């Protein structure tokens, strides 16, 4: 199997964020919802080798989503003089919704991180042995 490690890291992260396989850049990575497919339908690399790899995606969502909302809070209160109390009530709700909505894309970014660090392999290249 041809592994495509060419392209910048940012490009591969964006491929993952677009929910495409970071190896072939064409296969869909998700089933319905945020469930990762077992293998890429195009290049057959295995997406998840160890249980709990979705934790990295949650870490990405939790670390990337709050920053723009915090900046928005300061822009709205500082520049546009929006009263801060309604924002303090509304922003946590918006934050939870944004984290939930961004989780699918965070899964893709995390898969790209795995591709860039460990690599993604087909079962023929690297036999799958579940950790139990």
Nearer to Zn ion, 30 or 42 (CB): 42
Q: How far are the Cα atoms of 1, 73, 82, 106 from residue 4, in angstroms, in the given order?
A: 10, 41, 49, 21
Q: How far are the Cα atoms of 38, 65, 86, 92 from residue 82, in angstroms, in the given order?
A: 47, 21, 9, 16
Nearer to Zn ion, 70 or 118 (CB): 118
**Close Cβ partners of 15 (under 8 Å, ≥ 6 residues apart):** 7, 21, 22, 25, 108, 112
Minimum CB separation of residue 29 from Zn ion in Å reads: 8
Q: Under the rule (CB under 5 A), what is the footprint of Zn ion?
A: 21, 23-24, 27, 40, 42-43
Nearer to Zn ion, 23 or 102 (CB): 23
Nearer to Zn ion, 46 or 62 (CB): 46
Minimum CB separation of residue 115 from Zn ion in Å reads: 10
Minimum CB separation of residue 20 from Zn ion in Å reads: 8
* Residue whose structure tokens are 């964020």: 17
Query: Cα–Cα distance between 107 and 35 in angstroms, integer?
Result: 9
Minimum CB separation of residue 21 from Zn ion in Å reads: 3
């Amino acid at each position: 199997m041809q592994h495509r490690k060419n392209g910048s890291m940012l490009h591969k992260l964006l491929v993952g964020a677009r929910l495409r396989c970071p190896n072939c850049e064409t296969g869909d990575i998700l089933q319905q919802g945020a469930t990762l497919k077992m293998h890429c339908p195009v290049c057959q690399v295995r997406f998840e080798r160890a249980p709990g790899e979705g934790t990295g995606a949650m870490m990405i969502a939790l670390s990337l989503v709050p920053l723009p909302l915090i900046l928005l809070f300061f822009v709205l209160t500082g520049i546009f003089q929006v009263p801060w109390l309604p924002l303090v009530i509304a922003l946590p709700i918006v934050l939870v919704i944004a984290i939930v909505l961004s989780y699918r894309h965070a899964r893709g970014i995390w898969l790209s991180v795995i591709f860039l660090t460990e690599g993604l392999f087909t079962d023929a290249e690297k036999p799958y042995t579940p950790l139990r």
